[in-house]
Amino acid sequence: MEMLIKNVEEVVTEPELESALGSASKLRAYVGFEPSGSVHIGHLPLITKLKELQSIGVHIIVLLADLHAYLNEKGDIEHIRAVADYNQRCFAAAGLSEDTEYILGSSFQLDSEYMLDVLRLATVTTEKRAMRSMDELSRSKTDRKVSQMLYPLMQAMDIAYLDIDIAIGGIDQRKIHMLARENLPKLGLKTPICIHTPLLIGLDGAKMSSSLGNYISIHESETDIERKLKSAFCPPKVVEGNPVLHIYRYAIFANMEAVKIERKPEYGGDVVYNSYDDLERDYMAGKLHPQDLKQNAIRYLNELLAPIRAKIGTAKTF
């Protein structure tokens, strides 16, 4: 429990998760991943949580939600499936075990029984609830398509059809997960436990997004990582909205027992931090310069991503 609740936004609910972990059942957890762009460091908190669950014997399913991407106007089916294949290679290279099950959404979402159950779910879901569930995920923010009303209903039904005990996702998935928790039991289906990971801030201080280009791909070259981090938004003594500190908290410290900030003797010399909180405290106090923070983030991020680059190279393949 201590491991699983670390670096998450919330667990809905912790008592349910603790009870499930204490049962004799083989638990099944999943993440639904819309194939629409690069896998980037914003996905690392989610990938880390999946690996932690695997380490205690939970079976992991990665749903490559091609039909969801199509409904959300992310391209034609052929392009989306090419991205899905690339996404699968990225997840595998990032350290998910060989036991990970990858499922293409269209492999079961077009079955008549599945669609009938989606329609059944529609009869117990209000229009307002469905629209609110898509607030953070919808590509179209105004004049939305009917397809974007189907999206949350299908995602909730995916959880039931894959027999999922634990649904994992970024905090932007919360409203859809809550729809599933509220309405699946009305159809006699299991209530999922939900784990929500944080959303990393983009390098420009906005939400990290493939469409905005303010991210670092998990297979980015050393040169590109250095270039991007050196120009990243990182105001002195400011924590709120600081993407470099987010990288330390959710990517670097999540994978390192201690972090050494290397710097010249005239600037205070090297300092070792055993926790993110200690590093944040010193940064707020002005004891760490933004350039020292960035330079060491470059070193650690390259160290973390080097094994991934070695497996899939540095270029997108879709």
User: What per-residue confidence (pLDDT) applies to 145?
Assistant: 82
Confidence tier at 239 by pLDDT (50, 70, 90): very high
pLDDT at 123 over 70: yes
User: What per-residue confidence (pLDDT) applies to 140?
Assistant: 64
Q: Which CATH superfamily is domain 222-312 in?
A: Tyrosyl-Transfer RNA Synthetase (1.10.240.10)
Q: What is the mean pLDDT of the chain?
A: 94
pLDDT at 76 over 80: yes
Per-residue pLDDT tens digits for 39-67:
999 999 999 999 999 999 999 999 999 99
User: What per-residue confidence (pLDDT) applies to 139?
Assistant: 64
pLDDT at 316 over 80: no
Per-residue pLDDT tens digits for 264-302:
999 899 999 999 999 999 999 999 999 999 999 999 999
Closest CA to 297 of 279, 277, 274, 315: 279
pLDDT at 111 over 80: yes
CATH class of the domain at 10-197: alpha beta
Pair type for strands 166-170 and 10-12 = unpaired
pLDDT at 138 over 80: no
**What is the rounded average pLDDT of the residues 164-188?**
97
Domain definitions of the chain by residue range: 10-197, 222-312
Q: What percent of the chain has pLDDT over 90?
A: 85
**What is the rounded average pLDDT of the residues 6-25?**
95
User: What per-residue confidence (pLDDT) applies to 302?
Assistant: 96
Q: What percent of the chain has pLDDT over 70?
A: 99
Per-residue pLDDT tens digits for 180-223:
999 999 999 999 999 999 999 999 998 888 778 899 999 999 99
Confidence tier at 137 by pLDDT (50, 70, 90): confident
CB-based contact 48:168 (threshold 8 Å) = no
